[in-house]
Chain A
Amino acid sequence: MRHTISVVVENEFGVLARVAGLFSGRGFNIESLSVAPMFDPSMSRMTIVTTGDDRILEQITKQLNKLIDTIKVIDFTGSDYVERELALMKVNAEESSRAEVLRIVDIFRGKTVDVTPRSYTIEVTGAPAKINAIVELLRPIGIKELVRTGPVVIGRGSKGWRQD
């Protein structure tokens, strides 16, 4: 089963290696990982998408919590949250397909961020499923390059991550 976990860590060198090493050393999967400093720059927030049964997920969250540099682990499974991913795509745009590409991008509320006579570079954001959907629609036209950030998530409601 797919799980999305946020990990608040000390913003120090080597912390990413500790987290990545924990996953590889214990045979846990990382499907995606995104990380950047937080509002308080002494902390970074990682969003990790992983897979595993309940027992594995319990071990993952416990092991993450055990790291000295981990300040908070939030497992979003079963809770209400907003999930967003950004993708950049370089899509074939020959004469015959240029209009179709723009229509699809428009439906997904994407943006065209670069144009050449033979290609469009598209920016699209949304939940991973939405990105998957536009990728599938553009695939027949020809995607030259695809870059995805991996999702970031935030809980719904008025509470911040410190309160629970």
Chain B
Amino acid sequence: MKKTGSQILLECLKKEGVDTLFGYPGGAVINIYDDLVDYPEIKHILTRHEQAAVHAADGYSRATGQVGVALATSGPGATNTVTGIATAYMDSIPMVIITGQVPTPLIGNDAFQEADMVGITRPVTKHNYLVKDIKDLARIIKQAFYIARTGRPGPVLVDLPKDVQVATTKFVYPETVELRGYKPTISGNARQIEKAAKMILAAKKPVIYVGGGAVLADCPAELLQLAELIQAPVTTTLMAMAAFPGEHPLSLGMLGMHGTYYANMAVTHADLLITVGARFDDRVTGKIDTFAPHAKIIHVDIDPTSIKKNVRVDLPVVGDLKDVISKTIVALDKHADEVKATVAASQSWRDEVASWKSAQPLTYQPSDTEIKPQFVIEQLRELAGEDAIVATEVGQHQMWAAQFFRFVQPRTFLTSGGLGTMGYGLPAALGAQAAFPERLVIDISGDGSFQMNSQEMATLVQYKLPVKIVILNNGYLGMVRQWQQLFFDRRYSQTPLELPIDFVKLAEAYGATGLRATSPSEVAATIKQGFETPGPVIMEFKVAREENVLPMVPAGRSIHEMVLAS
């Protein structure tokens, strides 16, 4: 029996195991939405903005490891998805975005609600497609999911013209994917791995530097095993906060611009940097010439373009992290005595790292009168437990969350690292909560970022998604204000948010619950009440207005040249 293009699309989604779609209807996808009524197994969540639909699919993906799927109409609906797609692309999140397009005969005619989405999204997708013939549709959807989730994952956009949605053909879902130009290297080269093991055995001051790839490759267990085997301190990027337990004695926390003193000192003094799934971003390296100046660098990554892009690398290993780390452990296990000797020889290194840790721990000036934002994060961690999923927006609150939450479980920290998208957190939390209705999901936000997608309160209430929103309200665009304070003579140009919003009333306007704390003594009680209240809750904390995120490496400086908290 023949099926229409929109039916074929939905059949394909079913075959791919998609249970949740985030989207927004419109003229160019009205047929898909009509057919969606007949597919109750695919739950659709109507966000209030297409950008939020993509962020929600992204949050769903980061929390579950599955491919997130978003759907939007042509023209403005499609262009609204671009920030969401770019966010996912920079952080290598597997997603498929379906956009409607004007009918093929009208393409190129500046038709109503026409935008060249394949052109617009080319630089921010792993791959994209314009489906011109219904006969290609099933194959393209199959390829889109395959490309999104394999190799270095990423978003794939499929632009689907309206006439292709209504055309009919026999539905056959391809069993396999044939892409002669796309064969990611999964298995690490045995000789390179052997060399890596030798370098590890020769190191006296090793550091493991972990990036978001470790989360994407689902290899935190292997990573922990490697770190414990060779007793090497581990520092994680923002993207990898939950890939290595923050409370482990070998954990150095985050490195880079707002990294810990001891992580940055360890990297600066290391003689071996074992890099796994990280890409030497400028926020991590600071001044590139002085990054890890004494270290030989091993770089393990599934994407060859990440290797030697920003820094010299002594030993590249291309492959899936899980595969490479497991094989490295096997290679090391063959030299058990040497491993023992290496671990003994690096004891003085661990002592040195420990002395940095005790000299300059992550800290802040506590207060009895003002709510310190870091204190709120600590209290949240205390009351939320390890299983909670935390999404953030972008800015000071994001850095404080990374510094003070001490994540333990993988896929519990959802944050826009690469693109740094304000407005990401609320819809990402929404997506995660849709995936895990029973888990505690928190959006840690600032008063600035929250307003970039605050319309999603309506979605939370409509679908009974009990996301707990924490707003650290300082009345500023705090991170920019901090830069203005430190580098622009306190000229606070356009960073004070002059109009105080009543976030409690805002929550109530949407039919959610609003709570507010104005003094430190109210913080714990407010969080408890927020967690215990059913449904979505906004918890607003009036925090110290000019608190800074420290340590801080000024832009363009070496990472050991930090402005410290104490």
Contacts and interface: CB of A to CB of B under 8 A. Distances in A.
Interface stretch (A29-37, A64-72, A74-82): A64-72
Interface in A67-105: 67-71
Interface in B133-150: 147
Interface stretch (B176-184, B338-346, B423-431, B460-468): B176-184
A71 B181 contact: yes
Contacts of B309: 59
Contacts of B26: none
A14 B182 CA distance: 17
Contact of A10 (B119, B181, B308): B181
Query: Interface residues of A toward B: which range?
Result: 20 to 34
A66 B308 contact: no
A63 B309 CA distance: 10
A25 B120 CA distance: 13
Interface string B180-200: 111000000000000000000
Nearest to B303: A66
A105 B17 CA distance: 67
B14 interface: no
Contact of B305 (A25, A59, A68): A59
Contacts of B180: 71
Given A10-B181, A66-B303, A67-B181, A17 B147 contact: no
Contacts of A21: 122-123
B267 to A, nearest CB: 22
A145 to B, nearest CB: 31
Contacts of B304: 62, 65-66
Interface string B16-59: 00000000000000000000000000000000000000000000
Contacts, number: 35
Contacts of A62: 304-305
Interface of B: 118-119, 122-123, 126-127, 130, 147, 179-182, 303-305, 308-309
A68 to B, nearest CB: 4
Contacts of A58: 308
A2 interface: no
A130 to B, nearest CB: 34
B181 A14 contact: no
A55 interface: yes
A17 B181 contact: no
Interface in A21-60: 21, 25, 55, 58-59
Nearest to A71: B181
Most buried by A among B122, B180, B181, B303: B181
B309 to A, nearest CB: 6
A18 B122 CA distance: 7
B282 to A, nearest CB: 15
B272 to A, nearest CB: 22
Contacts of A10: 181
B127 A68 contact: yes
A5 interface: no
B310 to A, nearest CB: 10
Nearest to B151: A66
Contacts of B123: 21, 25
B182 A68 contact: yes
A124 interface: no
B305 A63 contact: yes
B147 A68 contact: yes
A69 B122 CA distance: 13
A69 B303 CA distance: 16
Contacts of A68: 126-127, 147, 179, 181-182
B147 A14 contact: no
Given A9-B181, A67-B181, A17 B308 contact: no
A58 B307 CA distance: 10
B419 to A, nearest CB: 15
B118 A14 contact: yes
Nearest to B118: A14
Given A10-B181, A21-B123, 11 more contacts: A13-B130, A14-B130, A21-B122, A55-B308, A59-B308, A62-B305, A68-B127, A68-B147, A68-B179, A68-B182, A71-B181
A132 B182 CA distance: 39
